[in-house]
Amino acid sequence: MTADLSPALLEQWYPALLSSELHDKPVSTMLFGKQIVLFRTSKGVHAFKDLCIHRGVPLSLGRVENDELVCAYHGWRYNGCGDCVKIPSLPVERAIPDKAKASTYSCIERFGLIWICIGSPKDSVPAFFPYLNEELKVVLMGPYELAAAGPRIVENFLDVSHLMFVHEGLLGDSRFPEIRDYRVNEEVGLLRTDEIVVFQPDADGRGTSMNSHYVYEVYGPFTAALIKRNPDNDEMFHLFLMVLPMTEQKSRAFMLKARNYDKEAPDDAFIAFQDTLIEQDRVMVENQKPELLPLDLQMELHLKCDRMSIAYRQSLKDWGVTFGTA
């Protein structure tokens, strides 16, 4: 399944499902156009290619019983490691063929999400997890289903000059649209901008205006972050965007927001604010042409304020990412 995917895509963690979407039944999702089945046992969460090796039926049509995934067609039973441990039609004296296995993927559960990696994970957990520490209040947002290419969604998130127009009154004021020059620095495989000053009429849905300092980061092809800081009182949050590229033009986005203020406040208002912003962004990312993100810098017209977008496109090129790009 992976011949057409560059190593940079295979070694990443992707958010496959919300923890709350996976109970006692297997659930199927999609990554890079391939079906993946997730299921839960007493030992934790598991991810397999959603295909029974016997006759190609999706394992997600089956059920979970005694910590085993049971295929709906002929009842083959797979344990959490993907080994077929029982073939009901096989006379007891016959051995189960060695090839009777499911293709397994790395799978972990953290922060209300189930994460999968379909190659050899570069890190044991997503590289940004250390930022989600106990001093910060972490809230999960999404999933946001978007009919858009994953790279278009990530780039929209990294785009500072749309805030005053698409999110006017919330994240920007069109009377103050100028973006002063900033640099993009590359540090151990991470792209990070300088602090960019943006006037915020409502900042995070609490109705407070301020000059925010924005730092954007790119952790990998489908993971980015925004660190927003109020220079007057050092209130700040990290907002992580993780995209599951289901097909080239269909994605599921999740966000984790980690804030150092109002930690006792209910999370609903922060989630509702983000939901509003995503609906505003949806109109843009679902209508861009070409649908796939062009990596040739001669295509589309770039300004200095688009530096982070340019760096992101360049990184996708360096990583050999062709999925969702043109």
Whole-number Å distance between alpha carbons of 311 and 282 = 23
52 binds, among Co ion, ligand FES, none (CB under 5 to 8 A by kind): ligand FES
The sign of the torsion formed by the CA atoms of 149, 152, 158, 161 equals: negative
Count Cβ atoms below 10 Å from residue 175 Cβ, excluding itself: 8
By CB under 5 A, tell whether 217 contacts Co ion: no
Q: Is 210 helix (H, G, I), strand (E, B) or coil?
A: strand
Number of residues that bind ligand FES (CB under 6 A): 8
Binding residues for Co ion restricted to 263-292, rule: CB under 5 A: 281
Q: Report the nearest approach of ligand FES to the CB of residue 33 (Å).
A: 22
281 binds, among Co ion, ligand FES, none (CB under 5 to 8 A by kind): Co ion
What are the structure tokens assigned to 192, written together? 């990070």
What are the structure tokens assigned to 122, written together? 């570069």
Which one among 43, 74, 206, 302 touches ligand FES, defined by CB under 6 A? 74
Q: Report the nearest approach of Co ion to the CB of residue 161 (Å).
A: 11
**208-to-169, 170, 215, 268 alpha-carbon distances in Å:** 11, 10, 20, 17
By CB under 6 A, tell whether 90 contacts ligand FES: no
By CB under 6 A, tell whether 23 contacts ligand FES: no
Whole-number Å distance between alpha carbons of 227 and 213 = 8
In this structure, are residues 257 and 127 in contact, taking their beta carbons and an 8 Å threshold? no
Pick the closer one to Co ion by CB: 117 or 166.
166
DSSP states along 4-44: TS-HHHHTS-EEEEEGGG-SSS-EEEEETTEEEEEEEETTE
Q: Report the nearest approach of ligand FES to the CB of residue 84 (Å).
A: 9
Straight-line distance from the first to the last Cα atom of the chain, in angstroms, rounded to the nearest whole number: 21
Query: Site map for ligand FES, 36-65, x if CB under 6 A?
Result: ----------------x-xx-x--------
By CB under 6 A, tell whether 76 contacts ligand FES: yes
23 binds, among Co ion, ligand FES, none (CB under 5 to 8 A by kind): none
By CB under 6 A, tell whether 102 contacts ligand FES: no
197 binds, among Co ion, ligand FES, none (CB under 5 to 8 A by kind): none
Pick the closer one to ligand FES by CB: 66 or 276.
66
Nearest CA to 227 out of 136, 113, 134 is that of 136
Residue 135 region, left (φ>0) first, then alpha (ψ -120 to 50), else beta?
alpha
176 binds, among ligand FES, Co ion, none (CB under 5 to 8 A by kind): none
Q: Report the nearest approach of ligand FES to the CB of residue 320 (Å).
A: 35
Binding site for Co ion (CB under 5 A): 281
Binding site for ligand FES (CB under 6 A): 52, 54-55, 57, 71, 73-74, 76
